[in-house]
Amino acid sequence: MKKHVIKLVFVGHVDHGKSTLIGRTLFETHSLPEEKYAEIKKVSADLGKDAELAYLTDYLQEERERNITIDTTQIYFKTRKNDYVIIDAPGHVQFIKNMLSGASQAEAAVLIVDAHEGVREQTRRHAYLINLLGIRNLIVAVNKMDLLDYSSDRFHLIEDEVIGFLNQLSLQPIHVIPISARLGKNITERSAEMGWYNGPVFSDALDHIKQKEQSDRKPLRFPVQDILSIQEREIIVGRVEAGDIQRKQKVTVLPDRYETSVREILRYGERRKRARAGESIGIVLEHHNAIHRGSVLIVQGDEPITADEIRVILFWMSDEPLSIGSDLSLQCSTQEVSCGPLKIEQRIDSSSLKLLEKDARNIQRNEVGQIILKLQRPAVFEAFSKIPELGRFVLRKGDTVTGAGIVSTQNTQS
């Protein structure tokens, strides 16, 4: 099986050390091309650690420039246990667009805080974004410990400040690690200067990231793609997005909400007893009333949200601003429904993440909005962090995609 590559995002206030930590991590985990590695070793043997660092920074800069034409900057590295890819960082309009549209969804975040400066404005905004995107795997690196003479007292002060602030957002970091990215302390090797620190070094902390729950361990979600009439039978086709489905199983059809059970499961013309997440199948139900493209079959007990009013986080990409009363079409999995914004609760700058306006009248191109959408009829949604396929949507005007977004976990109805 192909090894899963964990997607990471590095966030933090400008100058707190994101690039340095990325460069240092690549270096210490031997993830640079072999010839680069040899070159850097030689330069730093001749000129010292600062030359090594300067070299790493230049290398990353080159990588960025080379990747400028593609959507995301992707840098790979390996630890003892896992493979990682660092996807783009905030500061680029593309970043939030990619995160919201699902082009690149990070599973874990590394928040870098300068030990000298503590929590600053971008630390707050980036943490807010992490929370919004439902990323629960968070590692805090308290950087530049060399500037504080590796003092445990100073570290604990910063640690308390960071944890206090993150807890307000209901974020709980997996680890808070004192490091020096510049000098390579507590990155892959324990630093002798910080013997008082008992937790894992940075690369080991990454290996504690809880990987995404497998889709087939989740409750059943089967969005209907189409209904085919073949030899007097109605075959309901679609892809199992989460959970599994079995013959004779009781299911509930949403949003119309009635119960029925599964008579047959077909895959590639064969009868099956069971189908799992990721499989495209046809099913025949014992009976059904209203069922159509966009209906969602679930198991009772762990229900999604069925609502005609929903709070979303939206990235707007059309030249024509989004305003209250705009007439749009929302597409979420196989569901398609007319909608329009009822309320624009927040208008946010997508690169600085600054709150531009509350209760706004419109959202301009490349801005982000926290919005209440009113749908023409109820549709089925899920928190993005739980089942992304039902937590992510696009908005269209005619044939043009004008926005992409995710369902916020707090909803106005359920």
Q: Are strands 233-239 and 244-246 parallel, antiparallel or unpaired?
A: unpaired
Task: Kindly state the smallest distance separating residue 263's Cβ from ligand GDP, in Å.
Answer: 58
Task: Kindly state the smallest distance separating residue 17's Cβ from ligand GDP, in Å.
Answer: 4
Show contacts with ligand GDP in window 137-196 (CB under 6 A).
143-144, 146-147, 180-182
Distance CA 19, CA 61 (A): 9
Task: Kindly state the smallest distance separating residue 329's Cβ from ligand GDP, in Å.
Answer: 40
Distance CA 374, CA 87 (A): 33
Distance CA 36, CA 59 (A): 9
# of chain residues touching ligand GDP (CB under 6 A): 15
Q: What is the DSSP string of 282-324?
A: EEEES--SS--TT-EEE-TTS--EEEEEEEEEEEE--SSPEET
Distance CA 187, CA 20 (A): 11
Distance CA 207, CA 218 (A): 23
Residue 20 vs 105, nearer CB to ligand GDP = 20
3-class SS of residue 58:
helix
370 binds ligand GDP (CB under 6 A): no
Task: Kindly state the smallest distance separating residue 150's Cβ from ligand GDP, in Å.
Answer: 11
Residue 59 vs 381, nearer CB to ligand GDP = 59
Residue 191 vs 333, nearer CB to ligand GDP = 191
Task: Kindly state the smallest distance separating residue 28's Cβ from ligand GDP, in Å.
Answer: 13
* Binding string, residues 97-136; x marks residues near ligand GDP by CB under 6 A: ----------------------------------------
| Buried b / exposed e along 120-156 (16+ C-beta atoms within 10 A) | eebbbbbbebbbbbbbbbbbbbbbbbbebebbeebbe
Residue 181 vs 371, nearer CB to ligand GDP = 181
Task: Kindly state the smallest distance separating residue 32's Cβ from ligand GDP, in Å.
Answer: 17
Task: Kindly state the smallest distance separating residue 186's Cβ from ligand GDP, in Å.
Answer: 10
Residue 10 vs 316, nearer CB to ligand GDP = 10
Cα angle: 71, vertex 341, 242; to 5 degrees: 60
- How far, rounded to the nearest angstrom, does the alpha carbon of residue 337 sit from its chain's CA centroid? 25
Task: Kindly state the smallest distance separating residue 22's Cβ from ligand GDP, in Å.
Answer: 8
Residue 181 vs 240, nearer CB to ligand GDP = 181
Q: Are 25 and 190 within 8 A, CB to CB? A: no
Distance CA 405, CA 50 (A): 43
Residue 188 vs 409, nearer CB to ligand GDP = 188
407 binds ligand GDP (CB under 6 A): no
The DSSP bridge partners found for residue 400 are 397
- How far, rounded to the nearest angstrom, does the alpha carbon of residue 101 sit from its chain's CA centroid? 10
Task: Kindly state the smallest distance separating residue 254's Cβ from ligand GDP, in Å.
Answer: 45
Show contacts with ligand GDP in window 282-321 (CB under 6 A).
none
Q: Are 40 and 117 within 8 A, CB to CB? A: no
Residue 184 vs 282, nearer CB to ligand GDP = 184
Q: Are 222 and 296 within 8 A, CB to CB? A: yes
Task: Kindly state the smallest distance separating residue 18's Cβ from ligand GDP, in Å.
Answer: 3
246 binds ligand GDP (CB under 6 A): no
* Token pair of 36 as six digits: 């680069």
Residue 183 vs 379, nearer CB to ligand GDP = 183
44 binds ligand GDP (CB under 6 A): no
Residue 52 vs 382, nearer CB to ligand GDP = 52
Show contacts with ligand GDP in window 1-20 (CB under 6 A).
12, 14-20
* Token pair of 119 as six digits: 């929590």
Give the binding site for ligand GDP (CB under 6 A): 12, 14-20, 143-144, 146-147, 180-182
